[in-house]
Chains A and B, each alone.
Chain A
């Protein structure tokens, strides 16, 4: 095993900020900061339920924009990914997170925080699927990483 590009300090600080956002979201608004659930809910909710979701997503886009400006190399700005690959990825992520009621944030950051067995099952399952898919892609199919 070769370790490369390891950024322990920045990644821990970023993680602490994400955990803080999720904490304050529950403390003030009583909401789980699960990004797939929040954005999926934009499709079906109206009124207040739609407003807070739209504003959280807008904040995510603006916070992201600030980071794209400050650290462009740490964003997807220069990624040259085949559109078909990104289309398949996006479709699986959207459908899968809708079916499994959550993603990395809802099950990972929030669900594990409240010691949910469903979230623990989800995290173990999607991590395993991620590692296996990556192994098949890079080592069996020889598809280059980004």
Chain B
């Protein structure tokens, strides 16, 4: 399956990007979010660099009739700003600051076998599952 190989390779590229960017280091993430203290603005450039690419490429790609390997684009269809969107983002941002990790960098850190990272990953999946169980989503 070509799609599966592409997913594997792009997962690797994504992980390498996170590592070079410094996002795999919770010290840097907390340093970015501590704008009132000793501030490390680097993460703004990680998002800036990524957006520099997607802001140009996404609109062009979406104009195509479909992805190169066939099928359809799986794009979100919701457009309204609802409570789950905002409350979810509030909870997410809080957890991000507490741990210095968001899902991508946490997964990329799996093989550090750091206790804190592994505890975080287990609880992240517990969080996914709890939301599914509570909201039948």
Contact = CB atoms under 8 A, between A and B. Distances in A.
Contact of B14 (A21, A39, A43, A123): A21
29 contacts: A2-B37, A10-B22, A16-B49, A17-B20, A25-B6, A30-B67, A32-B75, A59-B11, A62-B15, A73-B25, A74-B19, A75-B19, A89-B99, A90-B95, A91-B95, A95-B130, A96-B127, A98-B137, A100-B86, A104-B47, A114-B58, A115-B59, A117-B79, A122-B86, A122-B89, A133-B93, A133-B94, A138-B34, A145-B30
Given A29-B3, A79-B114, A55 B11 contact: yes
Interface of B: 1-28, 30-31, 33-43, 45-55, 57-59, 61-62, 66-69, 71-76, 78-81, 84-112, 114-117, 119-132, 135, 137
Main secondary structure of the interface of B (DSSP, over half): helix
Contact of B26 (A14, A66, A79, A91): A79
Interface of A: 1-8, 10-33, 35-36, 39-40, 43-44, 48, 51-53, 55-68, 70-71, 73-83, 85-101, 103-105, 107-118, 121-123, 125-131, 133-135, 137-139, 145-146
B45 A12 contact: yes
